[in-house]
Amino acid sequence: MYKYDKLDQQIVDERVTQYRDQTRRYLAGELSEEEFRPLRLQNGLYIQRHAPMLRIAVPYGMLSSKQLHKLGDIANKYDKDYGHFSTRQNLQLNWPKLEDVPEILAELATVEMHAIQTSGNCIRNITTDQFAGIAPDEVVDPRAMAEIMRQWSTFHPEFALLPRKFKIAVSGTKDDRAIVQAHDIGMEFYHDAAGKLAIKVWVGGGLGRTPILGSVIREHLEWQHALTYCEAIIRVYNLHGRRDNAYKARIKILVKALGIDEFKQQVEAEWLHLKDAPNTITETELIRVGQHFDAMPYEVLAAHDASFDSAISSNPAFAAWVKRCVHAHKTAGYRAVTLSLKPHGQAPGDATSAQMHIVADLAQLYSFGELRVSHEQNLILADVKLSDLFAVWEKARANGLATPNIGLLTDIICCPGGDFCSLANAKSIPIAEAIQMQFDNLDYLHDIGDIELNISGCMNACGHHHVGHIGILGVDKDGSEWYQVSIGGKQGNDASIGAVIGPSFSAEEMPQVVQKLIDVYVQERTPEERFIDTVRRLGLAPFKTNVYAKNEHAKNGATA
Amino acid sequence: MSNLIQLKNGVASLADNDWTCVQLPPSQAEERKQAGKVVLFKLTGEATVTAEQITGTIIPATGKIIVPLSVFITRKNEFISRINAGEVGVWLDTHEVLETLIENQADLNALPIIAIHVQRFADGRIFSLGTLLRTRYGYKNELRALGDVLRDQIFFLKRSGFTSFAIRADRSANEALASLKDFSHPYQGAVDVAQPIFSRYNRLA
pLDDT in tens, A132-186: 999 999 999 999 999 999 999 999 999 999 999 999 999 999 889 889 999 999 9
A498, A512 Cβ separation under 8 angstroms? no
CB-CB contact of A92 with A416 (8 Å): yes
pLDDT at position A514, please? 97
State whether A7 and B183 contact (CB < 8 Å): no
Nearest to A285 among B41, B136, B198 (CB): B198
Q: A14 to chain B nearest CA, in Å?
A: 6
CB contact B174 to A (< 8 Å): no
Instruction: Inspect the interface and report whether the beta carbons of B198 and A227 lie closer than 8 Å.
Output: no
Of the candidates A7, A15, A273, the beta carbon closest to that of B197 is on: A7
Please report the ipTM that was assigned to this predicted complex: 0.96
In the stretch 14-43 of chain B, residues with CB closer than 8 A to chain A read 32, 34, 39-43
By the CB < 8 Å criterion, does B138 face chain A?
no
pLDDT at A49 over 80: no
Element containing residue B68 per DSSP (H, E): strand B65-68
pLDDT in tens, A494-548: 999 999 999 999 999 999 999 999 999 999 999 999 999 999 999 999 999 999 9
Q: Are strands A82-85 and A334-339 parallel, antiparallel or unpaired?
A: unpaired
Give residue A82's identity as a one-letter amino acid code: Y
CA distance A241 to B125: 10
Give the chain A residue whose CA is nearest to the CA of B34: A245
For residue A558, name the pLDDT band (cuts at 50, 70, 90).
very low
Q: Is B189 on the interface with A (CB under 8 A)?
A: yes
Mean pLDDT computed over A49-56:
84
Give me the pLDDT at residue A555, please.
Answer: 46
Beta strand pairing call for B164-166 and B113-118:
unpaired
pLDDT digit string, tens, across residues B155-178: 999 999 999 999 999 999 999 999
- Return the bridge partners of A532, or none: none
- What global pTM score does this model have? 0.92
Mean pLDDT of chain A: 94
Pick from B152, B183, B199: CB nearest A282: B199
The CA distance from B174 to B5, in Å, is 8
CA distance A88 to A107: 22
A-chain CB neighbours of B38 within 8 Å are none
Specify the higher pLDDT residue, B127 or A48: B127
Phi, psi angle pair for A216, to nearest 5°: -75, 125
Nearest to B123 among A11, A243, A284 (CB): A243
Within 13 A of A385's CA, how many CA atoms are on the CB side? 16
Q: How far is A70 from chain B (nearest CA, A)?
A: 25
Closest CA–CA distance from residue A128 to any residue of chain B (Å): 21
**What does the pLDDT profile of chain B (205 residues) look like in tens digits?**
579 999 999 899 999 999 999 999 998 776 777 667 777 789 999 988 999 999 999 999 999 999 999 999 999 999 999 999 999 999 999 999 999 999 999 999 999 999 999 999 999 999 999 999 999 999 999 999 999 999 999 999 999 999 999 999 999 999 999 999 999 999 999 999 999 999 999 998 6
Report residue B73 CA to chain centroid gap: 17
User: What was the pLDDT predicted at B39?
Assistant: 76
User: What pLDDT does residue A246 have?
Assistant: 87
With beta carbons less than 8 A apart as the criterion, state whether B154 and B165 touch.
Answer: yes
Q: How confident is the model at residue A550 (pLDDT cuts 50, 70, 90)?
A: low
B177 Cβ under 8 Å from any chain A Cβ:
no
Q: What is the mean pLDDT of residues A28-39?
A: 94
A347-382 pLDDT, tens digit per residue, is 899 999 999 999 999 999 999 999 999 999 999 999
Long-range residue pairs from B79-87, CB within 8 A, at least 24 positions apart, any chain: B83/B110, B83/B111, B84/B110, B86/B110, B86/B112, B87/B63, B87/B112
pLDDT band at A400 (very low <50, low <70, confident <90, very high): very high
A18 touches chain B (CB under 8 A): yes
Residue of B nearest to A22 (CA): B152
Question: Which band of pLDDT confidence, cut at 50, 70 and 90, is reported for residue A305?
Answer: very high
- Chain A positions touching B41 (Cβ under 8 A) are 243-244
Residue A551: how many other CB atoms lie within 10 Å: 13
- Taking an 8 Å cut-off on Cβ atoms, the answer to whether A245 and B39 are in contact is yes
Separation of alpha carbons A412 and A417, rounded Å: 13
pLDDT per position as a tens digit, A243-276? 998 889 999 999 999 999 999 999 999 999 999 9
pLDDT tens digits for range A89-118: 899 998 899 999 999 999 999 999 999 999
Contacts of B153 in chain A (CB under 8 A): 160-161
For Cα atoms A373, A436, A554, give the angle at the middle one, nearest 5 degrees.
140
Tell me, what's the pLDDT at B32?
A: 73
Q: Which of B41, B96, B97, B128 to mutate to test the interface with A (most CBs of A within 10 A)?
A: B128
pLDDT above 60 (res A431): yes
- Inform me whether the C-beta atom of residue A137 falls under 8 Å from chain B C-beta atoms: no
Residue type at position A211:
P
pLDDT band for A551, please (50, 70, 90 cuts). Answer: low
The mean predicted confidence, pLDDT, of chain B is 94
